[in-house]
Each structure stands twice: as structure tokens, then as C-alpha cells.
Amino acid sequence: MKILVSGFEPFGGSRVNPTEQLIFDLQSLSFSGVEIRTVLLPVVFDECARLLIEEIRSFQPDAVLACGVAGGRADITPERIAINMKHIAEDAPYPDNAGVRPHEQPIEEDGQDGLFTTLPVSRMVKTMREAGIPASISYSAGTYICNNTMYVLLNEIKKTANAMLGGFIHFPASPEMAAAKPGMPSMSQESMLRGLKVMIEVTIEELRALEHHPKRQVGSCSM
């Protein structure tokens, strides 16, 4: 069994991105019978998704957990849906890391308006809460890089009729990020890593259940 986990480089003037640290820390963990690969993505529209898809086609994982940071959120939030739009408001403080600032552009010209995660997000959230980790399902991944990455990932699964599980998870700001913006919620890297570990374990359980029940609808427990 193989699982791919992605994170992002810093952006928006910040020197850190907790998801970059997460994929580094993840290398110290092991999961019986599972190969974990990590990849760091650029905060650049389309390039982020292109590199993730390249890694998927090379590694052929059974599941992909793409991770990003959502400053302002207080808990870990697996995303339910990605929309077919890339957009940065004209008054937004920063573009992507390449200086690109798209305005209401489709990610895929002929793509569906929205695509749902195939990760077991409801059970992820339930299990994290039981472990004392703040978590909730999010119904908006925004229109920035994270949504861009999630949409292309799910569209790849749809186009290839792949049984792979895939989706996106937002994490709160780290204490270091929040220190520069008084009042911003944050979560320790230790708690975020615990949450990621729980979500990987839940994903492994779902994959094993699918192995025993191949006719079960992929992602059925997400809805």
C-alpha cells in the first residue's frame, strides 16, 4: 500500500509553512505495510498541481493527502469540495509566489463546476476529535493554490477512473506564523502532526476495507 502526502513552501511573506514542516516530520513516522512518500509543492497556480500529478503518475499511490495552511482557521479542516476556479481578488494582499493574480479563471476549461473528495473526511474528523485534536469538515477550499491543487487532483482521479483516494486538508497557522499577526488562531506542530498521523491511519483503514469489499463505492464514507 502506498500513500503520497504533499505540503507547500512558504508564501505571502511568511518565512514558514507548517505543512512543509509536517512532511519533513512525517518521515520519522512509520505505518506497518505502508510506503509513505512526500512531496513539497510550489505556491504557484497550475505548477503546484502539475508537479503533484507527475508524482502521482510516477509513484502510483493508493491515496493522496494534499496539505496546506489556512490562516484564520483554528482547527484541522479536511475539505469536502474543490471548485473549478482560480481567483485572487484585486485587493488581496499578495499574488502567488510567481506574481500571478488570476481573476475568475477556470482551472479546467471543460471541467465540472465542483468535485468532491474521495477521502473518508467524516471519519477523519470524528477520529481526530476523539483524540482531542480540534477538527471539522470545511465546505470551501477557497480559490487560491490549495483549491487549484485539490481540483486538479480530483479531476485526475475522475478522468482516469482511478480508485485512488484523494483530497485536501487545511491546517491552522503555526505559532510562528501567528506571532506576526496578533489574534490569528494557531496550532502547535506537534498537534498538527498528530492530526496528520490520525488521518493517514483512517485512510489506511479505508483502503483495507476497500480491498476486502471491492464493490464498495470509493469515498462512500465521506458523504
Respond yes or no: is residue 201 known to be catalytic. no
Residue type for 62, please?
Answer: D
* CA–CA distances in Å: residue 169 to residues 69, 102, 150, 164, 211: 8, 23, 9, 16, 24
User: Catalytic residue among 146, 190, 201, 206, which?
Assistant: 146
| Residue 205 annotated as catalytic | no
9 is catalytic: no
C-alpha dist (Å) from residue 30 to 14, 78, 121, 209: 30, 22, 22, 20
**Whose CA is closest to 73, among 136, 147, 7?**
136
Query: Of 20, 55, 67, 170, which one is the catalytic site residue?
Result: 170
Q: Which is nearest to 191 in space by CA: 129, 121, 117?
A: 129
Q: Which of 55, 79, 156, 206 is catalytic?
A: 79
Q: Are 75 and 139 in contact (CB under 8 A)?
A: no
Known catalytic residues are: 79, 146, 170
